[in-house]
Amino acid sequence: MATEVHVGRRMARKEDRPLVTGTGRFVADIRPVGTVDVAFGRSPVAHARIEAIGTEAATAMDGVVGVYTAPDIQGQVQPFTLFVDQEHTPPSLDQSIHPVIRPCDMDVLALTRVRYVGQPVVAIVAESRYLAEDAAELVDIDYEELPVLTDPEAAIAPGAPLLHEQVPGNVQASFDVDLGAVDAVFAEAEHTASFRFLVPRVAGSPIETRGVLAVHDPVQEELTVWSSTQTPYMVRTRIAEMLGLAEQQVRVIAPDVGGGFGPKVQVYPEEILVAHLSMRLGRPVCWIEDRNEHLVATGQSRDQVHTVEVAYRGDGTITGLRDRFLLDCGAFNPFSITCAYNTAAHLRGLYRVPAYRIRGECVLTNKTPNVPYRGAGRPEATFVMDRVVDVVARRLGLDPAEVIGRNLLTVAEMPCDRGMPYRDGAPIVYDCGDVPASFDRLLRQVGYAEHRSATREVQDGHVRRGIGFATYVEGTGKGPHEGARALLDSRGDIIVLAGCTPHGQSHETAFSQVAADALGVSPEQITFRAGDTALVPYGVGTFASRSAVTAGTAVAVAGGRLRQRILAVAGELLEAAPDDLEFQDSTVHVQGDVTSSVTLHQIAAAAAPGPAARLPAGMDHGMDESYYFVPPTVTFASGLMAAVVDVDTETGVIDVRKIVLVHDSGRLINPMVVEGQIHGGVAQGVGTALYERLVYDDTGQPLTTTFMDYLLPTSMEVPKVEQIHVETRSDRNPLGVKGVGEAGTISPPPAIVNAVVDALAPLSVEFSELPLTPEVVLDAVLAARSGRTGGQR
C-alpha cells in the first residue's frame, strides 16, 4: 500500500474551481442547436374529473411545435408503477411487519382525473419557453371538481371518498411492528403519558430546480438524457421500460447538479415525457423547472402525525412505547413504505425502550406525492422520541440530561440487536460506539453544568436562554450495490469512474483520496467521474447517506485491483517481482533503483492487445478493473446534539445561538467535507424546526408556492455549529466508514424545541408541532402565565 495516507486528510475540494468561476455545467447550460422548450399545463385544482381539453388555440399559435395530452401518448408511454424494490419487500421484512402495499399507478399525463394541484395534464412544446407559457394559457380544460381530501385523518375516516378505487380506506401502505410484552408493560407502568406529534409537509428545496434535456439519434437508435437527478440509473431504467427501449439504448447523464436532498431520487413524469417528445419530434427537447413549479410539482416530504403513549418509571426509565402514525403520502406514493418504515425502524434511536409497538399507515390525500427528503423519516422519529424523553423528565421534575443518560444504550450493549429487520431485510444491529461517553463530551462542550446553575434571563428580563438535547441513529450505506471502475487511459492517466451521482457531496475529492490510497499515488493524479450511465454498467445513485460506504468501497477495491494489474505488467516490463516495485508520480520503479522504471503510459500500452502487448503469462489484456460492492446491510452512524437558544418571551421570537454536535460516522475520509455536510444538514434541520411548512387550504390549494411564503432559513438564521468527531470504525465495509449526508438534518428540531422548553422552564410549556413559530411560543407563554396549560399537548 501507499506510504502516504490520504484518507483522513482535510484536502481542499477538487470540484470547486469550475463551480466558483462560473464554468460549472448544469442541465440549463446545455443547449444543442435546434432545441425546443416544454412548458407543462398543470392541474389548478386538487381533485377533478377532466371533462374536455381544448388545445386548438394553443396548437395554432405561432412558434408552437406541438401540444400533447394523455390520449396523444397513450400506448406509447406506459404509466408509472411502484418501484420494484418498493413493491417486493424482502421476505424477512414481510414475516416481521406484514406490510400491505396497494398498487397505485400514476399516468405521465393525467388522463381522466387529476388528484393534486400541479399534476401535469398537458405538455406544450414551442420554440422558446416564453412562447410555450403563452400557449399554455390558451389551453382550455374543463374540470368537474370532486371532493378534496387534505387531512390524512379525514381520509381514513369511514365514508371518505376514495382517491384510487383499488385502495380501500385510502391507506396505500401499512405495517406493524410489535416487540416485547407491550400491553403488560403498560398495564404495570408506574407512569404513562400520551401525545400527539405533528411534523409538517416540507420541501427539499435544492438550489437548482429539476431540469431535463433529451436528444435522440435515430441513426444510432440512441437516446441521451441529461437530467438534474440523484439517480441516473433509475431514470435510465424507467425511460427504457416506459418507452419500450433497451437500457443499453439510453444514456442518462447527471451533469453538475445543484443539490438534490432526496426529491431528485424520484423519477418524474417530466423525465419520461421529455425523452418521449425528443424521439417523437426528432429534435432536442428541454424542460427547466421554475421555482413556482418546483413547490407544487416536485415531491414533498415528512408530513406525519403520531399518536404516542409512553410508559415510564419514577426515575425516568422508559419501559414501553406505543405509536400509531399516519404519513400523508399525497395523491400517489412512489416510495411506498420507505420513509414510514424508516421512521419505525429509527424511532427508538439510541434509547433502550424494551417494549415497542408501532403501526405506520401511508394515507392518500389530494397533495403532491410524498418522497424522501434528507433524513427520510428519521427527523420525524427523532422529534417524537426526543420530545418524549424531554417531557418525561420535566413531568417528573428531573434534569432532562439525567433522563437521557438513563435511557441511552451503553457500550456494553453494543453491537445491539434491536429485534426487528431493517428495510433491506437484515436484522437491525447497531454498530455504534460508546454513546454515553459521547453524551458526556457534549454536556461539557456546551457548558451544561454552568447553564443549570445560572439564571436563564439574559436581557431585560424578557429574553431567556435554554439548552436542549436530541440524538440520532441512522442506518447508512444502504445497498443494493454500487460499482466503480479504475483504469489507465491511453496516455497512462488514472481514471476512476463510479455509479454514484455527486450533487454537492465532494465525491471527486473524497473518492480521489480513497483511490489514491488504494493505488499508492497522490489524489491529484486521479481523474474522477461519475453521474453518467455510460461510465459504469450498473449503478444506483446518491441518496440515503450511502455513497461513502458503497461507492467508496467499490472505488477502493477497483483501485486496489488496478494497482495489482499495473504492478504485474510493470514487473513484466522491468523483469522484477511486483512486490519489489513502487509508484512515483506517473512511473513505477524498482525499490531503491529509480533508474529502473517504466511510465504508466508504457504500462497502459503494454496491456493493450496487439503486437506490442507484454503481459505476464496468463493475464488478460486491458488496464481496466471493476468492482461492485454489495454491502451485507447498513452500518449505523449516530450522534448527539445540543441547541442553545434565546427566547424573547414578549414576542416569541427564537434565536438559535449555537448547535453543538458529537457525531460518529465511522472513519472520516475528509473531515472538512464531513463538516460541510453536517453544517448544511443542520441548516435544513433549523428550517424544519422553526420556519418551513407547506400550507394547503381546505380545497387543496397550496399557499406556499414562492420563497416569500415558503420560508427557508438563510445564512442569517443558521447558527454556528460546533462539531466533535468520534470515529468508531465500521466492520461492515473495508474502509471502516459510515454515511454522514443526512446526519445534521435529523436532530435539530427536537434539540431546538427542547431548548425553548428549557428556556421557559418555570412555565412548564410543552410543544408537539413543527415548525415552532413565534406565535406558538407566545401563545404558550401567555397561556402558562394566565394559569392555563401552556403549549401543545
Partner 1 sequence: MKPPRFRYFAADSTAHAVELLGEYGDEAKLLAGGQSVVPLLNFRLVAPAVLIDINRITELDHVRVDGITTRVGALVRQRTIERDQELRRRGPMLTETVGLIGHVAIRNRGTVGGALAHADPAGEWPALGLLLGACFRIVGPRGRRTVPVDEFFRGFLTTAIEPDELLEEVELRLPSPGAGHAFVEVARRHGDFALVGVGAVVELDSRCRIAHIAIALIGVASTAVRAGDAERVLRGELPSTELVKSAAEAAAAGLDPVDDIHASGTYRRRIAGVLTRRALYTALARAGWERRDVA
Residues that bind partner 1 (CB under 8 A): 129-130, 133-134, 137, 290-293, 461, 650-653, 691, 695, 703-704, 706, 708-709, 711, 713-714, 716-717, 773-775, 778-779, 782
> What gap in Å lies between CA 12 and CA 19, rounded to an integer?
14
User: Which residue, 635, 184, 731, 180, is CA-closest to 419?
Assistant: 180
- Closest CB 329 distance from partner 1, rounded Å: 23
The residue whose grid cell reads 488496478 is 562
Give the residue with the Cβ less far from partner 1, 62 or 575: 62
- Closest CB 366 distance from partner 1, rounded Å: 19
Give the residue with the Cβ less far from partner 1, 567 or 659: 659
- Closest CB 292 distance from partner 1, rounded Å: 5
- Closest CB 86 distance from partner 1, rounded Å: 33
Give the residue with the Cβ less far from partner 1, 499 or 652: 652
- Closest CB 413 distance from partner 1, rounded Å: 42
- Closest CB 711 distance from partner 1, rounded Å: 6
User: Which residue, 574, 723, 575, 612, is CA-closest to 587?
Assistant: 574
Give the residue with the Cβ less far from partner 1, 290 or 417: 290
The residue whose grid cell reads 418521449 is 276
Give the residue with the Cβ less far from partner 1, 7 or 686: 686
Give the residue with the Cβ less far from partner 1, 2 or 782: 782
Non-local CB neighbours of 414 within 8 Å, separated by 6+ positions: 430, 431, 432, 433
Give the residue with the Cβ less far from partner 1, 511 or 691: 691
Give the residue with the Cβ less far from partner 1, 65 or 574: 65
- Closest CB 297 distance from partner 1, rounded Å: 12
- Closest CB 302 distance from partner 1, rounded Å: 17
Give the residue with the Cβ less far from partner 1, 296 or 495: 296
> What gap in Å lies between CA 757 and CA 466, rounded to an integer?
7
User: Which residue, 360, 336, 319, 317, is CA-closest to 88?
Assistant: 336
- Closest CB 22 distance from partner 1, rounded Å: 17
Task: Count Cβ atoms within 10 A of the Cβ of residue 611 and give its class: 0-12 exposed, 13-18 middle, 19 or more buried.
Answer: exposed
Instruction: Report which DSSP code applies to 760.
Output: T
Give the residue with the Cβ less far from partner 1, 181 or 695: 695
For residues 716 and 650, the answer to whether their CB atoms sit within 8 Å is no
User: Which residue, 753, 731, 583, is CA-closest to 667?
Assistant: 731
Cell of residue 129, nine digits: 419557453
- Closest CB 263 distance from partner 1, rounded Å: 19
Q: What is the DSSP string of 41-69?
A: EE-SSSSEEEEEEE-HHHHHSTTEEEEEE
- Closest CB 62 distance from partner 1, rounded Å: 11
Tell me the one-letter amino acid at 627.
Answer: Y
User: Could you tell me where the DSSP H helices lie in 347-475?
Assistant: 378-395, 400-407, 435-446, 448-453
Q: Where are the beta strands (DSSP E) in 392-538?
A: 416-421, 427-430, 457-459, 463-476, 482-488, 494-498, 526-530
Task: Count Cβ atoms within 10 A of the Cβ of residue 17 and give its class: 0-12 exposed, 13-18 middle, 19 or more buried.
Answer: exposed
Give the residue with the Cβ less far from partner 1, 128 or 490: 128
- Closest CB 750 distance from partner 1, rounded Å: 21
Neighbours of 564 (CB within 10 A): 12
- Closest CB 202 distance from partner 1, rounded Å: 14
For residues 134 and 64, the answer to whether their CB atoms sit within 8 Å is no
Cell of residue 626, nine digits: 471493476
User: SS3 letters for 608-633?
Assistant: CCCCCCCCCCCCCCCCEEEEEECCCC
Give the residue with the Cβ less far from partner 1, 5 or 703: 703
Tell me the one-letter amino acid at 237.
Answer: T
Give the residue with the Cβ less far from partner 1, 230 or 298: 298
Give the residue with the Cβ less far from partner 1, 158 or 788: 788
Cell of residue 706, nine digits: 414562492
- Closest CB 573 distance from partner 1, rounded Å: 60
Q: Which residues of 419-430 are buried (b: 16+ CB within 10 A; e: fewer)?
A: ebbbbbebebbb
Strands 526-530 and 494-498: parallel
Give the residue with the Cβ less far from partner 1, 546 or 693: 693
- Closest CB 133 distance from partner 1, rounded Å: 5
Cell of residue 691, nine digits: 420556519
Give the residue with the Cβ less far from partner 1, 218 or 461: 461
> What gap in Å lies between CA 597 and CA 589, rounded to an integer?
4
Cell of residue 684, nine digits: 435544513
Non-local CB neighbours of 314 within 8 Å, separated by 6+ positions: 190, 191, 396
Non-local CB neighbours of 674 within 8 Å, separated by 6+ positions: 665, 668, 725, 740
Non-local CB neighbours of 374 within 8 Å, separated by 6+ positions: 204, 261, 262, 681, 684, 741, 742, 745
- Closest CB 123 distance from partner 1, rounded Å: 16
